Amino acid sequence: MAKAIHMMIRVLDEQRSLDFYRRAFGLQIAQRVDFDDFSLIYLSNPETEFELELTVNKDQAEPYELGNGYGHMAVSVDDLDAEHARFTAEALEPDPLKGLSHGEFSARYFFVTDPDGYRIEVLQRGGRFL
């Protein structure tokens, strides 16, 4: 059966994105493949096999258009409040902490925006979000 193993986003500035994803989520380069016109960079951390693939197109000068369809990648963390404080202290500019609940469904989270404008949801681990 199909197993979800990564998602890919195109980014404008490789080093800027590497810095962000390392500082924000501990993601490091698992593999980097450099072609003539583009590079593929697979980022991972020890928490999951699921990777984030960055594509850097070498002739891309304009910011990518992100549209209004794709939403976000989500990560879970052990201590949401501590992470929010850390993001703030490290000038990662997190959005405010929020909550959403409906019946037995409950989520505490904040969003943060990566250097290209992609949104990432940081969720308190628990319930649906393990």
Active site residue ranges: 121
Number of CB atoms found within 10 A of residue 45's CB:
16
Q: Does 125 bind its own copies (CB under 8 A)?
A: yes
> What's the min distance (Å) between Cβ of 93 and its own copies?
16
Question: In this structure, how many other beta carbons lie within 10 angstroms of the beta carbon of residue 90?
Answer: 11
Question: Do residues 122 and 110 lie in contact, with contact meaning Cβ atoms separated by under 8 Å?
Answer: yes
Binding mask 40-59 for its own copies (x = CB under 8 A): x-x--xxxxxx-xx-x----
Q: How far is the CB of 41 from its own copies (least distance, A)?
A: 12
Q: Kindly tell me which residue out of 18, 77, 94, 124 binds its own copies, with binding defined by CB under 8 A.
A: 77
**CB 8, CB 112: distance < 8 Å:** no
**Residue 15 or 31 having the CB closest to its own copies:** 31
3-class secondary-structure state, position 41: strand
Token pair of 86 as six digits: 């850390």
Distance CA 39, CA 108 (A): 36
Positions in the binding site for its own copies (CB under 8 A)? 1-10, 24-26, 30-31, 33-35, 40, 42, 45-50, 52-53, 55, 64-77, 83, 102-103, 105, 116-118, 121-123, 125, 128-130
